[in-house]
Chain A
Amino acid sequence: MAGVKLHGTWYSPFPYRVIWALKLKGISYEYIEEDLSNKSPLLLQYNPVHKKIPVLVHSGKPICESMIIIEYIEEKWPQTPLLPSDPYERAKARFWVKFFEEKAPAIWPLYRSTGEEQKKALKDSLEMLKIVEEQGLGEKKFFGGESIGIVDIAFGVIAHWFGVFEEVVEVKVLEAHAFPRLHAWKENFEEVPVIKENLPDRDKMLDYFKKRRMEILSASQ
């Protein structure tokens, strides 16, 4: 695979989406760790508009935005498809990806704030999870059916990162009795070998996000 490079940060869920897609399709790549407090000239050159990770660089050409990168990977390397082949089912999958992209930012204030703002984030997160639980997953093992697909990858944040946030803020959101389907999905998702072998270390994340939360809260005072 001529020159596939991925720029990311070890603690962010977004580059992991790309890692999972690449690994599921058996594509080798070089990973480059970025320091977001000191963005490399290369990153700014590859993503001048948003200046964010992940960026996939293929034969010197950059692609930005994690879900757009995944659609690119899917088209370039069709083995182990992540999207259904039927256009209607593809549209449904893309709908859930977009749903999560629009609603997931409600989660961040849960972690980044306190008091009323945090309470609202909790309410918004619960509403979002309820919709996904009841209308997104249904009786399926994965959003993609019997095996994981693009929607599972998009929702991967909930599988691994969300639990860390819950621990950092000491608020339980995704409770098994309230969200039995999502809870089961989470466990199944993390057992998939490619996922299991490609997750940031949980203790390291806990440390990092605890520190970051203290920095954010003291900066906003």
Chain B
Amino acid sequence: MANEVVLLDFWPSMFGMRVRIALAEKGIKYEYKEEDLKNKSPLLLEMNPINKQIPVLIHNGKPVCESLIIVQYIDEVWNDKSPLLPSDPYQRAQARFWADFVDKKVYGASRKVWSTKGEEQEAGKKEFFEILKTLEVELGDKPYFGGETFGYVDLSFITFYSWFQAYEVFGNINIEAECPKIIAWAKRCLQKESVAKTLPDQKKVYEFVAQMRKRFVSE
């Protein structure tokens, strides 16, 4: 059976990037379709009628939604190389826990950093650094969250790195000064081809965020 893989995505989405990294890690050929989120395609609305969001992976015509669910699906179907999750059930549970932590905490806090100002932004910045510091403790002295090799948790978090310049400029923060281990880890991840080729240039993301910020903050 022909393996037809299509990805509905939006280039600056840190969630879509997770799927792109997973596909690259597994060497899967796919068709990338850029969505205009202000004008969603009939295909997107058909494939994800409930959330109407990207990313959506369409495998042989059948849609899989939600970035981390897609990544787990990819890991299970293309299980012959580059495992993304550990094989031990306890390690898998820990990986799921930390990816879930990233999902629940990082996006919300980081959004406050770039899309608000004043007291709300200060609170967002404080929360953002608390979250990053918790992740730093979890990383410890390991090269990756997954241990010796890049894995599920690394994949779930590294995509936010492409937004760091935007956070730093609009939040007036210095992430390396506060969380040097996170930056060191990010640079280590960027040495991987799948990550380097997937993550858009930080400046490009910054310009995109600058446009979006205008809608939220009047200056």
Complex partner residue of A95 from B62, B69, B89, B92, CB under 8 angstroms? B69
Complex partner residue of B49 from A49, A72, A135, CB under 8 angstroms? A135
Q: Is the CB of B97 within 8 A of A91?
A: no
Contacts of B64 in A (CB 8 A): 88, 91, 95
Nearest neighbor of B99 in chain A, beta-carbon distance: A68
Considering the chains assembled together, what is the distance between the CA atoms of A45 and B50 in angstroms?
38
Tell me if A150 is interfacial: C-beta within 8 Å of chain B. Answer: no
Nearest neighbor of A76 in chain B, beta-carbon distance: B89
Tally of contacts, chain A with chain B, CB under 8 A? 56
Min Cβ gap A7→B in Å is 15
Min Cβ gap A106→B in Å is 15
Min Cβ gap B57→A in Å is 9
Tell me if B21 is interfacial: C-beta within 8 Å of chain A. Answer: no
Considering the chains assembled together, what is the distance between the CA atoms of A63 and B90 in angstroms?
8
Secondary structure dominating the interface of A: helix
Tell me if A69 is interfacial: C-beta within 8 Å of chain B. Answer: yes
Tell me if B107 is interfacial: C-beta within 8 Å of chain A. Answer: no
Min Cβ gap A166→B in Å is 25
Considering the chains assembled together, what is the distance between the CA atoms of A70 and B94 in angstroms?
13
Contacts of A65 in B (CB 8 A): 96-97, 100
Q: Is the CB of B90 within 8 A of A61?
A: yes
Known contacts: A68-B97, A88-B59. The answer to whether A98 contacts B66 by CB under 8 A is yes
Considering the chains assembled together, what is the distance between the CA atoms of A99 and B50 in angstroms?
9
Tell me if A58 is interfacial: C-beta within 8 Å of chain B. Answer: yes
Q: Is the CB of B50 within 8 A of A75?
A: no
Min Cβ gap A79→B in Å is 14
Binds A, one of B7-15, B71-79, B139-147: B71-79
Nearest neighbor of B92 in chain A, beta-carbon distance: A75
Tell me if A64 is interfacial: C-beta within 8 Å of chain B. Answer: yes
Contacts of A115 in B (CB 8 A): none
Considering the chains assembled together, what is the distance between the CA atoms of A95 and B69 in angstroms?
7
Q: Is the CB of B49 within 8 A of A91?
A: no
Contacts of A90 in B (CB 8 A): 72-73, 76
Known contacts: A61-B90, A72-B92, A98-B66. The answer to whether A87 contacts B76 by CB under 8 A is yes
Complex partner residue of B73 from A64, A69, A91, CB under 8 angstroms? A91
Q: Mark B179-197, 1 if CB is under 8 A from A, else 0.
A: 0000000000000000000
Considering the chains assembled together, what is the distance between the CA atoms of A152 and B73 in angstroms?
21
Considering the chains assembled together, what is the distance between the CA atoms of A69 and B97 in angstroms?
9
Tell me if A183 is interfacial: C-beta within 8 Å of chain B. Answer: no
Contacts of A87 in B (CB 8 A): 73, 76-77
Considering the chains assembled together, what is the distance between the CA atoms of A65 and B92 in angstroms?
13
Q: Mark A113-146, 1 if CB is under 8 A from B, else 0.
A: 0000000000000000001000100000000000
Contacts of A64 in B (CB 8 A): 97
Contacts of B97 in A (CB 8 A): 63-65, 68
Tell me if A71 is interfacial: C-beta within 8 Å of chain B. Answer: yes
Tell me if B44 is interfacial: C-beta within 8 Å of chain A. Answer: no
Q: Is the CB of B90 within 8 A of A91?
A: no
Min Cβ gap A94→B in Å is 5
Complex partner residue of A88 from B49, B73, B90, CB under 8 angstroms? B73
Min Cβ gap A26→B in Å is 18
Tell me if B153 is interfacial: C-beta within 8 Å of chain A. Answer: no
Considering the chains assembled together, what is the distance between the CA atoms of A37 and B89 in angstroms?
32
Q: Which of A53-68 contact B (CB under 8 A)?
A: 58, 61, 63-65, 68
Residues of A whose CB lies within 8 Å of any CB of B are 49, 58, 61, 63-65, 68-69, 71-72, 75-76, 87-88, 90-91, 94-95, 98-99, 131, 135
**What 6 pairs across the A-B complex have the smallest Cβ distances?**
A75-B89, A72-B93, A87-B76, A91-B73, A91-B64, A63-B93
> What are some 19 contacts across the A-B interface (CB < 8 A)?
A61-B90, A63-B94, A63-B97, A65-B96, A65-B97, A68-B97, A68-B100, A71-B92, A71-B93, A72-B92, A75-B92, A87-B77, A88-B64, A91-B64, A91-B70, A95-B64, A95-B69, A98-B66, A131-B50
Residues of B whose CB lies within 8 Å of any CB of A are 49-51, 59, 62, 64-66, 69-70, 72-73, 76-77, 89-90, 92-94, 96-97, 100-101, 134
